[in-house]
Structure 1
Amino acid sequence: MFTSSEIVLVLLLGFLALSCFTEFESNAQLLPLEEVKILETISKKLHNTHWNISQSSCQDGGAGFYKYFTDDILSNVTCNCSFPSNTCHVTIIEMKGLNLTGVIPEELGNLTHLEAIDLTRNYINGSIPASLSRAPFRALNLLGNRLSGSIPIDGFTMLTELVLEDNQFEGHLPQNIGKLTNLKRLLLSANNFTGTIPESYGNLKNLTDFRIDGSRLSGKIPNFIGNWTKLERLDMQGTSLEGPIPSIISSLKNLTELRISDLNGSSQFPNLKDMKDIKLVTLRNCSISGTIPNYFGELRKLKTLDLSFNKLNGEIPQKIKRVDTLDYMFLTNNSLTGEVPTWILNSKYSLDLSYNNFTGSPSVSCQQLTVNLVSSYSSSENLWCLKKDLPCSSKPKHHSMFINCGGRKMEFEGNEYEEDLSTVGQSHFISTSEKWGYSSTGVYMNKDKADYIARNTFSLNVDGPDFYQTARLSPLSLKYYGLCMLKGSYKVQLHFSEIMYTDDQTFSSLGKRIFDISIQGNLVWKDFNIMEEAGGVGKVVVKELDNVIVHGSTLEIHLYWAGKGTTAIPNRGVYGPLISAISVTPNFKVDTGGLSAGAIAGIVVASFVSVVLVLVILRKAGYLGGKDEDEDGSIIAVKQLSAKSKQGNREFVNEIGMISALQHPNLVRLFGCCIEGNQLLLIYEYMENNSLARALFGKHLQRLEQNVKFGICI
């Protein structure tokens, strides 16, 4: 039995507990039930397993939604719980790199406070639902999916960021995007857009970032880009746009990154002198003529300068040496002249000056060069590695080449593939005993530290030799050289297998690698895609060219990224040319110094008469049982020649042909010939005190008879 005082105490404690619970419940930060149901539907449609959805999921900073793996793979939902009665509403949804499938749920538009959604690198297909415009979206980031169809714009009046890179959109760009005057970032690269950039885009005066790399957009670069005075980054690589680069680009004074490449038509060098904050300038393969402007010496924040594959002439401006921040300078394939400045040879940064018309000899050897000056020079007094077309410094002697690109030395089908293991690639030239070499140029966008050797990191089951397990890759330009090669026709085989993407239903399978292949300066395969050619990832494709002519002594194989394909799947630093192995074999007979089948056949034919003659003579002499043996044997003269000598081979054949056909009392008789190992022996009648005695040595006929019985001599 409880006493009255005990009963009062229990009731008091219960009341206090209920009061505390009520107070806690009144302060709880809860999602409305309706919003919980919406999130459950969204999660189900995206096949999402990372959310623990309830009214209290927003508590503790949204712990019920949060899952972190890496910066690029995470789940996070941000809630705003400052509404009356501690009500919470979802404002931001991030589901990055989680391989979500399905379609974008229409219910996202029912989240009345949703401002941003980031579904970067998933496996979502379908189109963008128009219902999303019901939510107050400010940012849509859908990079790296399988999205296609139309792009609904009406209603997205508050949108500041639209990221659709690395998807499957096609057709003309929507005119209505020009109405989104709050847009700051418009990223459309690596899609299949066609047509021209709409004039309405000139209204996007708040743009800070505009990218259309790898699309099929055509027409002139519009002058209205001059309206984008707040622009900080402009990417127009690998499109079908035409030059010239408009002079109005000089008004973009806030640019920090400028990338324009592979323009049709010619251009003069644009005026960039007022871009004091510029860090990266890429004007590659734009048919730019003229000289490199001196104002580059005043751009003190410049880190990367890529003016490769243009028509630039004149000298490298001395003022560029003032730029202390410069890390990379690529000037390959121009018509630059003059001496390479000493400050460049002594510089700390990576550079490529190859394929120009520089003169003068630096006081360094090919082995000491740490910068890529391949074939920069035209003067005959310069080092072989600095001369145009890399001429052989000695007599050409090579007639084949086998390279395991990015891998170790190995054998396949009786050929030894040489190793190619250097991990350097920003601007690098390496050669192996003037037999072969490679030159790699370029820096990956937003990933300076990327590797230049690809590996089968996804454990793909690749059928074929081991050289398909690794590959060499480059973000821009990769050249392999066959050096000191004999003149003639060759068969070139290029071995490929895509090993950096997966073959499953994940975002890692969505990459597109597209590059051009030239051999001896001729474009032979444009927009080459390994996966399309091979029929998938981890599959082998061999591209073969049967009649490649070497006129000088160098064979050049060039793989070039023309700005097309995806650049951010499975991550940034994977795009660009990739090759597994190279094999080059001659289409002509190679004199290796040994006896060829034709030579041996000639010997047999020319010596047949001698064989018969020798046997008849020996028979009549009684050496083969024709008469009684008076002595243990007869003395013969043997002339020895070496098969290692080309002269010896010719002498051997010629003597058999001539001596066996001639018979005269004053000439020694040829009894036969013998091939033992690499020794060639001619058996003559022995004549004592003859002047040839110094070069001949005697052997008994018994030895000759034994060899005839064993089929060694003829």
Structure 2
Amino acid sequence: MLLESLVLCFLSLVLLSPFATSEQCNPQDKKALLEIKKEFNTSEVLQNLWNPKTDCCIWVWIECDPTTNRVTGLVMKFDEPSNDIVGHIPSSVAQLPYLEHLEFNNLPTLTGPINPVISNLKHLKYLVISSTGISGQVPSFLSGFQNLELLDLSLNSLTGTIPSTLSQLPKITTLRLDNNKLTGQIPNSFGSFRKPGPEIYLSNNRLSGHIPASLGQLDLESIDLSVNRLEGDASFLFGSKKRTRILDLSRNLLAFDLSKLDLPNKSLTFLHLDHNYIYGKIPQVLNKVNALERFNVSYNLLCGEIPQTGDLQRFGVFAFYHNKCLCGSPLPKCK
């Protein structure tokens, strides 16, 4: 039903567009796109979307530079999972030399490894392969993109370790490898990202070992390491002068003294530390974190009275329960 609607929209664009009789698309780019269509084992309705008799710059999922008319975007993104794109990442994408945005999103029948021909796309700024059936390892060639700002490989079936060379990406602002089956440790080299550092999302994997202390040298706005098997200290991720907005370390094996943390009290909006082995008391400084919207320290080894002078009680009992000896509102009174 979704693709049928796309076909109707496409036909409307063909009839109404002033370019319907004037070809704007670069002929080599158009040839490459038609090769991509051949490589996909797709349904008949999808085959009708890219009509070779029309300008490819008005095709669905295609973005063209308004000045050069070169194809700069192949953005195959669906709001709901679609099984109409079947096969592997097409090798013909390498024939789109000016591609800046390549995206395959919500395509569970897109399978196989990440095609190494992608390494030829030297102008890439945004690479999104998310919610697909893609498997295999995170390829090390990804570190060669000099213009890449967003790398999103979330919600796939990727395995193996995280390449340490990803920290060599000079312009990266967001790194998403969450919701895969990655193993091993977080590379120590991640502390050498160009400062202030990208947003890092590694949650819902099988990562183990210690969080590298080198990450504490960065000023990360968002870091999500939840639902892994990480252990040891993580206190170096905190800092009152940092711009940290989101910090999620929940559901790991981490152990550190919460009362000694130097919290970012101006920017922090999301702090989840639940399901760890964190000990000590809840620091009074948390009352000064005025922007805090989400907070959870349940299922830890915390003790002492919950600070009563601020507004932590608004997070409810579920944010505090199942600790060693934590007490005070919203939990029962201290004895």
Tell me if structure 2 keeps the 8 A contact 1:148–1:167: yes
1:217 aligns to 2:210 (yes or no)? no
Deviation of 1:164 after TM superposition, in Å, equals 1.4
Q: Which moved more, 1:191-200 or 1:331-340?
A: 191-200
Q: 1:30 aligns with which of 23, 32, 36?
A: 23
- C-alpha change, 1:76 and 1:126, in structure 2 (3 Å) is closer
Match of 2:99 in 1: 137
Residue 148 (str. 1) matches residue 129 (str. 2): no
User: How far apart in 1 are the matches of 2:325 and 2:113?
Assistant: 52
CA deviation profile, 1:145-202 (whole Å, cap 9, x unmatched): 1222232233122222221122222222222222223322222222222221223323
The letter of the residue matching 2:265 is L
Call closer, same or farther: CA 1:359–1:92 in 2, change over 3 Å.
Answer: closer
For residue 215 of structure 1, report the CA deviation from its aligned partner. 2.0
- 1:93 Cα deviation from its structure 2 partner: 4.5
Aligned to 2:6: none
Seen in structure 2, the aligned counterparts of structure 1 residues 133 and 357 have a Cα distance that, compared at 3 Å, is same
Equivalent pairs counted in the alignment come to 302
- After TM superposition, the structure 1 = structure 2 runs for residues 101-180 of structure 1, keeping only pairs within 5 Å, are 123-135=84-96, 136-145=98-107, 146-151=109-114, 152=116, 153-180=118-145
| 1:250 aligns to 2:216 (yes or no) | yes
Counterpart for residue 232 of structure 2:
267
Residue 295 (str. 1) matches residue 235 (str. 2): no
- After superposition, residues 521-560 of structure 1 pair within 5 angstroms as none
Partners of 2:71 and 2:230 in 1: how far apart? 50
**What's 2:320 paired with?**
353
Q: Deviations over 1:17-63 (max 9, x none)?
A: xxxxxxxx9xx8533695777767767865335567755786xxx5x
1:81 to 1:193, Cα distance in 2 relative to 1, 3 A: closer
Provide the C-alpha distance between the structure 1 equivalents of 2:37 and 2:64, rounded to a whole number of angstroms. Answer: 16
Q: Is the 8 A contact 2:253 2:277 kept in 1?
A: yes
Is 1:92 the counterpart of 2:59 in the alignment? Answer: no
Following TM superposition, by how much is the alpha carbon of 1:282 offset from its aligned partner in structure 2, in angstroms?
A: 0.3
SS at 2:214 equivalent? helix
Deviations 1:578-616 (A, max 9, x none): xxxxxxxxxxxxxxxxxxxxxxxxxxxxxxxxxxxxxxx
Bigger radius of gyration among the two: 1
Cα distance per residue 1:219-278 (max 9 Å; x no partner): 22111101223533111112221121111111221x221111234352113312166321
Deviation at 1:356, TM superposition (A): 1.2
Cα distance change on mapping 1:251 and 1:265 into 2, 3 Å? closer
Q: 1:361 offset after TM fit, Å?
A: 5.0
Task: Specify whether residues 160 and 278 from structure 1 end up closer, same or farther in structure 2 by C-alpha distance, changes over 3 A only.
Answer: same
In the TM superposition, 1:125-524 aligns within 5 A as 125-135=86-96, 136-145=98-107, 146-151=109-114, 152=116, 153-228=118-193, 229-253=195-219, 255-264=220-229, 266-271=231-236, 272-273=238-239, 276-292=242-258, 293-296=260-263, 298-343=264-309, 347-349=313-315, 352-358=319-325, 362=329, 373=331
CA contact (8 A) 1:259 1:282 kept: yes
Q: Which AA in structure 1 matches 2:256? A: G
Task: Show structure 1 runs of 5+ residues with no match.
Answer: 1-24, 66-74, 100-119, 363-370, 382-714
Q: Is residue 127–residue 147 contact of structure 1 (8 Å, CA) maintained in 2?
A: yes
CA distance change for structure 1 residues 242 and 317 in 2, over 3 Å: closer, same or farther? same
Q: What are the superposed Cα offsets for residues 129-152 of structure 1, whole Å, 9 maximum, x if unpaired?
A: 222112122221112212222322
- Whole-Å separation in 1 of the counterparts to 2:287 and 2:79: 46
Higher relative contact order (CA 8 A, sep 6+): 2
Pair 1:232–1:357, CA change in 2 (3 A): same
Range moving further from structure 2, 180-189 or 347-356? 347-356
Work out the CA distance in 2 between the residues paired with 1:360 and 1:214.
Answer: 35
Q: CA RMSD in A?
A: 3.3
Normalized against structure 1, the TM-score is what? Answer: 0.38
SS at match of 1:290: coil
Structure 1 contact 281–305 (Cα < 8 Å) conserved: yes
Question: Offset of 1:333 from its aligned partner?
Answer: 0.4
Q: Is the 8 A contact 2:136 2:159 kept in 1?
A: yes
1:154–1:52 CA distance, 2 compared to 1 (3 A): closer
- Distance in structure 1 (CA, Å) of the matches to 2:272 and 2:125: 31
1:603 aligned residue: none
- Contact 1:277–1:299 (CA under 8 A) maintained in structure 2: no
- Cα contact 1:121–1:144 (8 A) shared by 2: yes
Q: Which runs of 5+ in 2 are unaligned?
A: 1-17
Question: Residue 151 of structure 2: SS of its match in structure 1?
Answer: strand
Match of 2:8 in 1: none
Q: Conserved in 2, the CA contact under 8 Å of 1:175 and 1:200?
A: yes
CA displacement 1:100-134 (0-9 Å, x = unmatched): xxxxxxxxxxxxxxxxxxxx966422111222112
Taking the aligned partners of 1:307 and 1:98, their CA distance within structure 2 comes to 31
Identity of aligned residues (%): 25
Aligned partner of residue 158 in structure 2, secondary structure: strand
| Alignment deviations for residues 607-637 of structure 1 (CA, whole Å, 9 cap, x no partner) | xxxxxxxxxxxxxxxxxxxxxxxxxxxxxxx
Q: How far apart are the structure 1 equivalents of 2:26 and 2:277?
A: 66
